Structure 1
Amino acid sequence: MLSGVDLDRPFDRTPAANWREGIAGITVPPGHRYFTLIGAKGLSQVPPRMTGSLTAKPGGKGELIVHASYAVAYAFDARPDEARSPADIVPFVREEQDYVLRKAPPFAKADAGLSIGEGSGYTSRMACDAIKTGILAPQYADKGRPVVGVPVGDDAAAYDPTKPLPSLDTCG
């Protein structure tokens, strides 16, 4: 155990403690993904955990809007001097994203298929320097920021896809 962090159970004492592993945490309606680059800090052997849902509704003529509302928690490996708590090694990504499926006809073949619609997101417990370049890394990877533990105002609702998306993430 690493200063209160069990690296075999890194999600303990985080909002992801009871989430399911990987995409098993996403509820998809019967009959019916966010790509993140991982930086130099490697993921732990424990798979990421997810929670959320997909819903569908009609769009304009020939369109179907699929809304994804989900949160992902990633556990990173750490050396004893890099992390003091689960907050230091488990960053979160929360997304509210629409995907638009268009059918040809009425759309031209070039315009048919899947496209990304409106969306927004929230990140927490991240290395801010890395996330600005699209790379996911734990907060201890930021060279200029001290390891600070759980962000101020960090509560379970911020990670709950059934609640409103927070307006400000921990990287500002």
Structure 2
Amino acid sequence: MADLPPDLFDADWAREAERRALRDHRRATRARKARGLTGPSRGALLTALSFSAVVALAWAGFAFLDGTAPTASAPPTSAASTSTAPLRAHAEVDLTRPFADTPAAMWREGAGGIEPPPAHPVGPYSAEQVGQFMERVRRLIITARLDRTVLETRDPSLVLDQLAPALVEKLRPELAPGKEKESWYVAERIAAGARLLPVQPRVTGWMTPTVNEHGELTIRTNYLVAYAFDVPDPTKIDGPMDIVAVVRHEIEYRWIDDSKYAADARGVWFGEARGFSYSVDCAQSEHGFLAPDYNNPRETAAAAGHHRRSEEYFDPNIPMPTEDGCR
């Protein structure tokens, strides 16, 4: 009997992937500077090209390492609708309606934005099995991205309880204090000192069931979550994006149920994972924590390399951004 499902690639591949990511990131940065590009926000961070995250996610099937944007898969017909509402970057902020004047104002509140499509048979898996796994993934995402206990205590235990025990043991080194950036894909963590407003985050995106090359039932997810933060002095902020942080995740969840694996290896595993965050506190993001943009130095705006319209960072239909505005 095999103990664990196979790794998606080996350590040699991971080391080469890290070198390639570093090289291509530097090339992209030099090219942006040569073009003199500037952008709309002083606080966007590409987690997918964060060098420490590259190493941490190698075993999990991290594939976005060549400096190019992946092709965006079309959402299923049941996916939550996305907004094309414009962003009014300098609108007056109402802390009781923090998402007003942002595209996230049109998204669903909290768990209502994480809605699986109708279940149907996929490969050897019945519609009932597919539906059950999509519901497990839904609960897992809600816990990891919306549960206030997880977010505010920065303790992912409630998430880990929903994963295969063998995977949790494999994750232990990356879950140690001080390594939060390496396990960004496990759960969101709000920075100490940052306070969420008493409103539900806004969510949009979709999940799609498939069977991967190993014959495993896999749920591919693509979600954006907008978080609204309190601010000590509202008179010192310029507009809604000073307190609204947007996080996007494209994460695969694998269902391991083959009896050839040990009992503790069966359950939910991670597959490929990509992430991007927009309008965030760069210093906190460097340590794996989420905080709003208003703490960033103003001069960061001039150094940001964005060349998209601001609204595009709210759109799960576009390819994952490759810019890094925090370096």
- 2:325 is aligned to 170
* 1:119 paired to 2:273: yes
| Count of aligned residue pairs for this structure pair | 168
After TM superposition, give the deviation of residue 13 of structure 1 in Å.
Answer: 1.2
Does 119-128 or 21-30 show the bigger shift?
Answer: 21-30
Q: What's the TM-score once normalised by structure 2's chain length?
A: 0.47
Give me the whole-angstrom Cα distance separating, in 1, the residues matched to 2:98 and 2:299.
16
Whether the aligned pair in 2 keeps the contact of 1:127 and 1:139 (CA below 8 Å) is yes
- 1:59 is aligned to 212
After TM superposition, give the deviation of residue 61 of structure 1 in Å.
Answer: 5.0
Whether the aligned pair in 1 keeps the contact of 2:300 and 2:326 (CA below 8 Å) is no
After TM superposition, give the deviation of residue 47 of structure 1 in Å.
Answer: 1.2
- 2:287 is aligned to 133
Whether the aligned pair in 2 keeps the contact of 1:62 and 1:104 (CA below 8 Å) is no
Whether the aligned pair in 2 keeps the contact of 1:88 and 1:148 (CA below 8 Å) is no
Match 2:189 to one of 37, 62, 75: 37
Whether the aligned pair in 2 keeps the contact of 1:61 and 1:106 (CA below 8 Å) is no
Give me the whole-angstrom Cα distance separating, in 1, the residues matched to 2:214 and 2:259.
10
Does 43-52 or 153-162 show the bigger shift?
Answer: 153-162
Distance change (3 Å), C-alpha of 1:170 and 1:24: farther
Q: Which amino acid is 1:16 matched to? A: A
| 3-state SS, counterpart of residue 325 of structure 2 | coil
Give me the whole-angstrom Cα distance separating, in 2, the residues matched to 1:61 and 1:121.
24
- 2:298 is aligned to 146
After TM superposition, give the deviation of residue 162 of structure 1 in Å.
Answer: 2.1
Higher share in strand = 1
| 3-state SS, counterpart of residue 221 of structure 2 | strand
Higher share in helix = 2
Give me the whole-angstrom Cα distance separating, in 1, the residues matched to 2:320 and 2:288.
20
After TM superposition, give the deviation of residue 163 of structure 1 in Å.
Answer: 1.9
Q: What's the TM-score once normalised by structure 1's chain length?
A: 0.86
Task: Identify unmatched segments of 5+ residues in structure 2.
Answer: 1-90, 119-130, 135-140, 145-186
Give me the whole-angstrom Cα distance separating, in 2, the residues matched to 1:118 and 1:84.
37
After TM superposition, give the deviation of residue 106 of structure 1 in Å.
Answer: 3.7
After TM superposition, give the deviation of residue 148 of structure 1 in Å.
Answer: 7.6
Whether the aligned pair in 2 keeps the contact of 1:92 and 1:123 (CA below 8 Å) is yes
Question: Which 4+ runs in 1 deviate beyond 6 A?
Answer: none
* 1:100 paired to 2:269: no
Does 44-53 or 22-31 show the bigger shift?
Answer: 22-31
After TM superposition, give the deviation of residue 108 of structure 1 in Å.
Answer: 3.0
Distance change (3 Å), C-alpha of 1:82 and 1:116: farther
After TM superposition, give the deviation of residue 92 of structure 1 in Å.
Answer: 0.4
Task: Identify unmatched segments of 5+ residues in structure 1.
Answer: none
Give me the whole-angstrom Cα distance separating, in 2, the residues matched to 1:148 and 1:170.
8
- 2:243 is aligned to 89
Q: CA RMSD in A?
A: 2.3
Match 2:313 to one of 158, 164, 167: 158
Whether the aligned pair in 2 keeps the contact of 1:28 and 1:53 (CA below 8 Å) is yes
Does 59-68 or 45-54 show the bigger shift?
Answer: 59-68
Give me the whole-angstrom Cα distance separating, in 1, the residues matched to 2:108 and 2:299.
27
- 2:102 is aligned to 14
Match 1:74 to one of 217, 227, 233: 227
- 1:23 is aligned to 111
Matched residues, percent identical?
38
Give me the whole-angstrom Cα distance separating, in 2, the residues matched to 1:70 and 1:155.
17
